[in-house]
Structure 1
Amino acid sequence: MIKKREWALIASLITLLILLITTYTKDGAIQFRRLFNEPPSGANIEDIKGDSLQIYFCPEDRCEDALVSLIANSKKNISVAMYSFTSRDSSTALVDAAKRGVEVRVYLNNDQRNEKYSKAGFLRKKGIPVKLHDHDGLMHNKFAIIDEEIVATGSFNWTASADTRNDENLVLIKNKKASEAYKKKFDALWERERQ
C-alpha cells in the first residue's frame, strides 16, 4: 500500500515534470501534447530492404579505415558536417578525392577556426570549400554524405582520439531516403553561412 508520503512524492515529481516542460519550451502546452501523444517528427525510414547498414565500434574496429576507404571509392560528391576534424588520414583522403574530380564540401563547428590541430586550414589551402558554424549553440553533428547514396554517421568525430582511444561508433547507411534527409540538413547548414 502506498503511503501518503509516497503519493506526495509522486505528485511532486509529476508537477516538476510538467513545470520543466512548460518552462523550457517555447510553447509548453504543444510540447506536452507532443511528448505524450504524438510520434517523433524526425525522418522516419520505414523500409531499408535491399540497402545496407554497417556498424563499427572504435577503437577495436578502426572506424577511420572504413571512412578512408569510403572516401577513396567516392565518385561524385562528399559533404561533411563534423564537430571536430583533426584527422590527417581523413583530410588527406578528401584532398585526394577532390583531385579525382569529386566535389567536396566541409562544414565544421566554429571552434575549429582556432583549434591547433584542426584540418580546416589545410583543406582550404588545398582548395576544398570549408565553412564554419557561426550561430548560437554548437554544430555537434557528425556525418558525411558520399555520392548522395551513403551516410556515415554516429558519435565518431574525425580525430585520431576517436579512432584509437575513445569508445565511439560509426554507422554507414546505404539508403536513398536517409541520404536525402542528411543532404537536406547539410544543405541548410551550408546555405546559411557566408564564409
Structure 2
Amino acid sequence: MYNNKYNLILKKVSFLGILLTITLFSCGRDPNNPNNSKNSISLSFNNDYKGLVTDNEIIAKNDPENPDKKFINLLRSAKQTVDGAFYDIQDPDITKVFVEMKKKGVKIRLVTDTDNLTVGKKGALRDSIKSLEDAGIEIKDDKRNGLMHNKFMIVDSNYVWTGSTNLTTNSLYDHNNNSLMIESKQLSANYQAEFNRFFENGLFGVNAHEIPYPNIITTEKDSIQTFFSPGGGTTAAIIKELNDAKKSIKFMAFSFTNKEMADIMLIKNKQKIACEGIFDSCEISKYSTYSLLNKNKIPVYKDGNQALMHEKIMIIDDETVITGSFNFSNNAEHNNNENTLIIKSTNIASQFNKEYERLKFAAINNKDLPSYNHPACRGSSTDPKGNNEAGE
C-alpha cells in the first residue's frame, strides 16, 4: 500500500513537474508596505528523487519545471538590474545567460566566495568567472575565512530568488534543493541592503544592521521574516519557532549539528509533539545530531540520493517554513554570510510537506547506493563548531 501510494505520487510529480506556485496578495495598505506591492511566492524543487546521479541528472535536465529553467527565465526577464550573491557560480549555461543579459544592457553585479574564484587556492580563474569578467560583469569576493554562503539574486528591485541552490551543474541537476522566486518590493529592499553591504561597502563579517522590512505582512494570516548571518539572530529565531511548536516539527537538513535545536525536539517529542527529519547521509558524523535524535526514538532518515540532499528546511505545525542558505550549525550562525526566511503560510507549508514526503519515500526505498565523489562525502573534518564542506 505504501509503495503504491508513493509510486503514484512520484509519477504525478514527473508528469506535472515540480513547480508549485502559491500566490499571496497583500490585503489593504499595510503601514510596513508603503508601495502596497504584490507579494507572491513561486516555489520549485529539483526533480531528483531517484537513487542514482545518472538517472536524476537526465530527469532534471529534461524537466521543463526544474528550477534551472525558472532561474533562467527570471534572469532573462531583467530590464535594468541584476544583483546576485552566490557561494558558487560554475554552470556554463547559467554563465552564458548572465553574459547574454549584460550584452543587452542590463547592469549586473555579482558577489561570490573567495574559495570559488579560482581552480584550487592559487590557480587560474575558473572558466565561469573568467567568462563573466571578460563580459564586463564586476565580481567581488569576501576575502575571509568564513563562507559567503548565500544563494540569492535581486532583479529590477522587485524579484528575489533565494533558497539552497548554488549555481553549479551538480546543485542544479543532481542535488535535492529548493528555490523560491518572490515578487516583493519590500523583500527586494531587504536583500538589496545586504547585497550593498557586501558589494559597495566590503562588509562580510558580523555587522549588525537594520533590515528595512523585517516582517512583511502578505495576507491577514501570512508573513515573511528575513534574517541575515553572521550575527543576525537566525539561530535564536529558529529556536523560538521550535519552542512554539504545538503539533509537529519536520526537517530536511544537509547539515544539522546544532545540539540546542535537537534538544528542543527531544523535549517536544516527550510532549507528544510529532518530530521527524531527513539527514544527508554524507554529513552524518559524530558531531551530527542524527545519532542523538535516533537513539531517543525520533524518526530520522538517511537521504535516498546518491548525491547530496542539500536542503536547509524546517516545517513547524504545518504553517511555518524555515528555509534559505542557513545550515543548522554554529558556522552558519557565527561565521558565514547566510540568508534565512521564516514564512508563515499554510499554503507554502503544504508544498514543503509534499517535498518532505517525496524525500522520505526516496530515503526509505533508495538503498545500497554507490559512493558520491564530493567534498562532503570524502570523510569528516567536522568539529563541534561547524561541519563538512568548508564549514557550511
TM-score by length of 2: 0.39
Report the alpha carbon displacement of residue 25 of structure 1 after superposing the two structures with TM: 3.8
> Is 1:81 aligned with 2:259?
no
* More relative contact order, 1 or 2 (CA 8 Å, 6+ apart): 1
Counterpart of 1:13 in structure 2 is none
| 1:106 matched residue in structure 2 | 277
The answer to whether the Cα contact below 8 Å between 1:142 and 1:157 also exists between their aligned partners in 2 is yes
In structure 2, the residue matched to 1:90 is 261
**Alpha-carbon deviation of 1:153?**
0.6
| Matched residues, number | 165
| Match for residue 290 of structure 2 among 120, 130, 141 | 120
**Helix, strand or coil at the partner of 1:193:** helix
Name the CA distance, whole Å, in 1 between partners of 2:182 and 2:271: 32
Letter in 1 for 2:273: V
List alignment gaps of at least 5 residues for structure 2.
Answer: 1-59, 78-178, 184-216, 366-392
1:106 is displaced (CA, Å) by 1.0
TM-score if structure 1 supplies the norm length? Answer: 0.75
CA contact (8 A) 1:43 1:181 kept: no
Structure 1 unpaired stretches of 5+: 1-23
Offset, 1:26: 4.0
Say whether residues 1:156 and 2:326 are aligned partners.
yes
2:346 is the alignment partner of 1:176? yes
Residue-by-residue CA offset, 1:7-51 (whole Å, 9 max, x unaligned): xxxxxxxxxxxxxxxxx94489xxxx9866xx9xx8888893121
Which of 1 and 2 has greater Rg? 1
SS in 1 for 2:363: coil
* Closer, same or farther: CA 179–165 of 1 in aligned 2, 3 Å: same
- Choose between structure 1 and 2: higher helix proportion: 1
Q: Determine if contact 1:112/1:120 at 8 Å carries over to the other structure.
A: no
In the alignment, is the contact (CA less than 8 A) between 2:254 and 2:311 conserved in 1?
yes
In structure 2, the partner of 1:67 is 238
Conservation of the 8 A alpha-carbon contact between 1:52 and 1:174: yes
Amino acid of the residue matched to residue 170 of structure 1?
T
Q: CA deviation at 1:145?
A: 0.6
Percent identity over paired residues: 28
Aligned residue for 1:11? none
Structure-2 change in CA distance of 1:43 and 1:172 (3 Å) = closer
Deviation digits for residues 165-194 of structure 1 (CA, Å, limit 9, x no counterpart): 111122100011111111110111112222
- Offset at residue 125 of structure 1 (A): 1.0
Equivalent in the alignment of 2:312: 142
Q: In the alignment, which residue of structure 1 is the partner of 2:29?
A: none
Partner of residue 10, structure 1: none
Task: Check the 8 A contact 2:305/2:362 in 1, yes or no.
Answer: no
Please list, as runs of the form range in 1=range in 2, the aligned pairs for 1:14-29 lying within 5 A after superposition: 25-26=61-62
Q: Which moved more, 1:48-57 or 1:75-84?
A: 48-57
CA distance in 1, matches of 2:334, 2:182: 32
Aligned partners of 1:48 and 1:192: how far apart in 2?
A: 34
Distance 2:281 2:63 in 1: 30
Distance 2:349 2:61 in 1: 30
Contact kept? 2:304, 2:362, Cα under 8 Å: no
Q: Does residue 57 of structure 1 match 2:228?
A: yes
Does 42-51 or 137-146 show the bigger shift? 42-51
Q: Which moved more, 1:54-63 or 1:70-79?
A: 54-63
Q: In the alignment, what sits opposite 1:132?
A: 302
**SS of the residue aligned with 2:364?**
coil
Aligned to 1:17: none
**Structure-2 residue corresponding to 1:4:** none
Distance 2:63 2:356 in 1: 27
Q: Distance in 2 between matches of 1:158 and 1:25?
A: 29
Deviations 1:101-144 (A, max 9, x none): 1100110111133x231110011111111101132221011111
Deviates more, 1:154-163 or 1:104-113: 104-113
2:337 pairs with one of 142, 158, 167: 167
Could you tell me which residue of structure 2 aligns to residue 14 of structure 1? Answer: none
- Counterpart of 1:48? 218
Distance 1:109 1:45 in 2: 27
